[in-house]
Amino acid sequence: MSSLTLIGAHRAVAELLENRPNSWDVVRFKGLFQRLDRRNVDLAYEMLSLRSTGEVVARAEMGGRQEPDEASLPKYLIAEIDDLVVNPMWLIGGGIGVSRRAGAVSPDYRVFRSRGALLPRFVHHLLRSQPYLDQYLLYTRAQTTFDRRVQQPDLDNLPLPVPPLEEQRAITDYLDRETARIDTLIEEQLSLVRLLAERRVAVMAEPFGHAHPTAPLGSALEQLIDHRGKTPGKVGDKTDDFTDEGVPVVSAIHIKNGQISWSERERFVPYWMFEKWMPVRLRTGDVLLTSEAPLGNVAQVATDRPLVLSQRLFALRGREGILDSTYLRFFLESDRGQALLRDGASGSTVSGIRQSRLVQVPVPVPPIDEQRRVSQQIREQITKIDTLMTETERFVELSKERRAALITAAVTGQIDVRRAA
């Protein structure tokens, strides 16, 4: 296909193909790849699986996966080195890559071999570039397991740029070199994040390792508020409960790193629902705790504005002069506090803690002045750690974005890799 007559159906990649170098052709996927159907009948090949990173690895490395039925093993597809492996049910999540090892992959996958016009490593970078990931999404009908499958006719008609082979080699050499540099930098920064996280845990643990008299949590609270202000119930069972504006609903997904984060989906309810569900209003300093799924995430309210608690959340308010709420927050976040919450939890599949067990959790209660001193000391240290973690994580995200942009620019001819080398 030397013209772009089919590009209208492939709008995510249309612009980059229109702007490709004059020496590059455009060919449909079907014209570039042969679909293979060799089966592991004699079970001679090791079992492989495909990561969302595009790596084809031994199935045993994936961990925690249900073992396939023995009767299905002879149906597994054989993939040789440099074959393209595709998971049609997870293409939108990156389930595509060129294998660097031989083995047998799930019969639900598809295996292809280049007819020679495209080099395997070029294919790996190209078909995992962002425009093509966006294109796979356009092929899906929905996000359910079945409807997100990319059908073979769509894949067959996918248009691909075909540079001259020498230029493909130059592109893949350049990308292998440059992405390796970025990956090394990313791993160094992730190592720093892990070290900072360990330091944060240590800072939180140290003050609560000392011997202090304890009291049941319930006796040290002024108020324990659930998501209806008084008794367990459910908020937001119906989509109609929510509005585009009004009083924000705090859910378990919003409880992150000791704070309420609105980076996830924000939902609202009308003010009259707030009045009904929250007869006891939250106030600055109250400690929020997730009771299950997951158990033990903690945040502290930083505003007096109206808020509604969703299900699986408790709000805890320390008794004046007995329990400092910030001290309680840090205790519940500490290893000791988390262990006590787990000890009080129940449930075979989802671990959760009931109000009747939560109020019995023993909390260390040194004099209130010491609690405030401990809170201030922890706050000063973790503020510095959290700031550095945030900056490092942002650097990692920017590096990943740069990596993706570099790949897209190279495999679509937007940069001359020979000059960039």
pLDDT along the chain (421 residues), means of 10: 55 90 95 96 94 90 72 93 95 93 95 96 95 92 72 94 96 95 97 96 90 93 74 45 87 89 86 86 95 92 92 93 96 95 84 92 96 96 94 96 95 84 58
Residue 350 in tokens: 């989802």
What are the two backbone dihedrals, phi and then psi, of residue 368, each rounded to the nearest 5 degrees? Answer: -60, -35
Asked whether residue 260 is domain-assigned, the answer is yes
Report CA torsion sign: 245, 251, 253, 254: positive
In a domain, 137, yes or no: yes
Domain shared by 349 and 223, yes or no: yes
Domain-ending residue, one of 122, 144, 163: 163
Which tokens sit at 213?
């008299």
Question: Is 226 found in the same domain as 89?
Answer: no
Question: Do 154 and 230 share a domain, yes or no?
Answer: no
Residues 150 and 246 in one domain: no
Name the nearest CA neighbour of 178 among 399, 412, 413, 414.
399
Mark whether 43 and 113 lie in a shared domain: yes
Residues 163, 171: contact at Cβ < 8 Å?
Answer: yes
Asked whether residue 170 is domain-assigned, the answer is: no
State whether 141 and 288 are in the same domain: no
Q: Examine the domain organization and report whether 225 and 88 are in the same domain.
A: no
Domain end: 163, 179, 204, which one?
Answer: 163
User: Which residues have CB under 8 Å from 123's CB, separation 6+?
Assistant: 84, 98, 114
Same domain, 101 and 240: no
Domain-located, residue 191: no
The pLDDT, as a whole number, for residue 237 is 43
Q: Are residues 247 and 118 in the same domain?
A: no
Number of domains the chain contains: 2
Which of 365, 384, 404 is where one domain is finished?
365
* Separation CA 239–CA 227 (nearest Å): 17
Q: What does pTM read for this prediction?
A: 0.76
Cα gap 128→105, rounded to integer Å: 19
289 lies in the same domain as 146: no
Q: Supply the range of the domain harboring residue 27.
A: 7-163
Asked if the structure places residue 416 within a domain, the reply is: no
Contact between residue 365 and residue 220 where contact means Cβ atoms under 8 Å apart: yes
Residue 319 falls within a domain, yes or no? yes
Residue 223 counted as domain residue: yes
Q: Give the per-residue pLDDT at 234.
A: 45
3-state secondary structure the chain: CCCCCCHHHCHHHHHHHHCCCCCCEEEEHHHHEEEECCECCCCCCCEEEECCCCCEEEHHHHCCCCCCCHHHHHHCEEECCCCEEECCCCHHHCCEEECCCCEEECCCCEEEEECCCCCHHHHHHHHCCHHHHHHHHHHCCCCCCCCCCCCHHHHHCCEEEECCHHHHHHHHHHHHHHHHHHHHHHHHHHHHHHHHHHHHHHHHHHHHHCCCCEEEHHHHEEEEEECCCCCCCCCCCCHHHCECCCEEEECHHHEECEEECCCCCCEEECHHHHHHHCCCCCCCCCEEEEEECCEEEEEECCCCCCCEECCCEEEEEECCCCCCHHHHHHHHHCHHHHHHHHHCCECCCCCECCHHHHCCCEEECCCHHHHHHHHHHHHHHHHHHHHHHHHHHHHHHHHHHHHHHHHHHHHCCCCCHHHHC
Residue 37 sits in the same domain as residue 100? yes
What pLDDT score was predicted for residue 236? 45
Q: Domain with 120 in it: what CATH number?
A: 3.90.220.20
- Residue pair 28/2 in contact by the 8 Å Cβ criterion: no
* 281 in any annotated domain: yes
Same domain, 154 and 224: no
- CA-nearest of 184, 340, 310, 292 to 248 is 310
